Amino acid sequence: MINQKDLIRKVKNYNKFLNPETLSKAYNFALNAHKNQKRDSGDPYLIHPVAVADILSDLKLDSATIATGLLHDTIEDTKTTYKIVEKEFGKEVADLVEGVTKISELEGKVIENSKAENIRKLILATSKDIRVLLVKIADRLHNMRTLSAISDESRSKRIAKETMEIYAPLSDRMGMNHIRDELEDLSFQKLNPEARNLVVERLSINKKNRENTFNEISKSFSKILKDNNITARIVGREKTPFSIWRKMQSKRVSLEQLTDIIGFRIIVDNIETCYKALGIFHSNWSTIPGRFKDYISTPKINNYKSIHTAIIGPKKERVEIQIRTKEMHEFAERGIASHWIYKSSEKVNHLALREYDWLRDLVEIMEKDSNPEHYLEYTKLQMFQDNVFCFTPKGEVIKLPRNATPIDFAYAVHTKIGDTLSACEINGRGSPIQSSLKNGDLVNIIGSKTASPSLQWLSYAKTGKARASIRRFWQTKKNISHKSEKRYISSLCIKIPNVPGKLGEVSSLIGFHESNIINMEIIAKKNDYIEFVFDIQISDLKNYKNLISELKTKDYKIRIIRHRKKDALLQRIFKNFKRN
């Protein structure tokens, strides 16, 4: 455990504006507040908040955030109140501590929607101050490092699963790759220890050969860059067991067939030199097709910048290379924390945080959608995907996830534009609204006052915002057509799996789409399904169309029966009676 003096010295090394008394006071306050508490391991509880503060100081965060790391459990786990923290440390620190407390309130409670409720708290608290999320991620990282101390296996697995599904992708979205890798690997160790041990064991067999290969390739790279008057720092890092396992699963190959276990990072002085270095590598060695990505000209959605390429390098080895500047490397390691520069003060420039506007979209979903499982699904969609860049006719850039459609584009511009979408043009040509968009596409949305979103769009939409808006439109839409005198009768033949609850689901969907069941009969019964005919009264043909679309998306086999006689059931009974 880092002591008080060492922590203050560590923060002072990067933050000349630090007031040592504030950190010293927070350290002693945490010591007194937690003095009678123990961790699951039996160690003094103070070890945890000090470790969290240490992780935050590795990210070079401001003194208010470090103090929050020391105090983050005081309101939740001790008799300390918000007013006491505000009186001792000011409103800024008190608000941050309270934000972390709000997130932690529901953790550890095994209730049906606990995960969804957790992520709601997390995002709503973070939307006010991004530093709340940074403290929470540091808190989770230390808890994962000490996860083996928890004796309850089901609890530790639940924590690991939540980390893998929520906190690791959040760290990635914040640009903190190093923390993401560690969270993923620690979760992997708990959730699938056999697979991880297998990867580690296999890696250890050829470790010596890999180290020798790395040194030789590194020397070759250094020499050729020096010969071309490029000053560069070459960093090599072996991929984590989890990232290796994930690649094995996605490519369906064995560990021996993976060739890019070690990656090289070439760190240079400026962007011009990045492209010059790229030219040198590509002119001296053969490139591997499909592996070049320029994240400098089009950064990732978390603002990560770098040039990625892969070559058949020295000794015919397949080599993965990332070329970046010092600032890009700093962002790749520290993510959003790299915005704290400490030039004129320790306050971050909030203009630098604009790329984290995705939080606003998530908060909009949280506030307007009442179903916790819905906003968990949308949050995952919104946060954890790669992106493409498309343009509006006025030249504005819209970031969207890979394979996004014009539906997603329209809702990204504005919810009203999405709700009135009727057609679109991609690069000047009329295209289906379910087309997949590509980098650089110019998208023109054509709207209509009479148009409204179709539930069928749910199967094409990729962004959380679009899916949430479509669902919300239909959930809040009131039946305006009650006064209409015209009614329609239709019959649907539906094969329903012979599973409890499926018939109820179909009946609910019919009611949800404002249709009435006036008759229902079984026409066939098999071991795995029952075939029903529903006679349905319809007041709005558009709702009927949406009902059929949703039944199809849920994989029900349906058939529309036209001109079905009203006394079909009686005829069937009479026919069987005559046969007997």
| Size (the chain), residues | 580
Q: Judge residue 20's burial from the number of C-beta atoms within 10 Å of its C-beta, 0-12 exposed, 13-18 middle, 19 or more buried.
A: middle
The verdict on whether 77 is a catalytic residue reads yes
DSSP string covering 441-468: -BEEEEE-TT----GGGGGT--SHHHHH
* Sequence letter at residue 367: E
For residues 177 and 237, what is the distance between their CA atoms, to the nearest angstrom? 13
Angle, alpha carbons 247-251-252 (nearest 5°): 105
Closest Cα to residue 324, out of 278, 257, 370?
278
Element (H, E) at 266: strand 262-268
Q: Are 580 and 515 in contact (CB under 8 A)?
A: no
Whether residue 540 lies in the annotated active site: no
- Residue in 76, 294, 333, 355 annotated catalytic: 76
Contact 98, 72 (CB under 8 A): no
The candidate with the shortest Cα–Cα distance to 73, out of 136, 119, 23, is 136
> b/e map of 22-47 (b: 16 or more CB within 10 Å)?
bbeebbebbbebbeeeebeeeebbbb
Active-site residue, from 77, 317, 333, 355: 77
Distance CA 18, CA 342 (A): 10
* Residue 497, beta-bridge partner list: 529
Q: Catalytic site residues?
A: 76-77
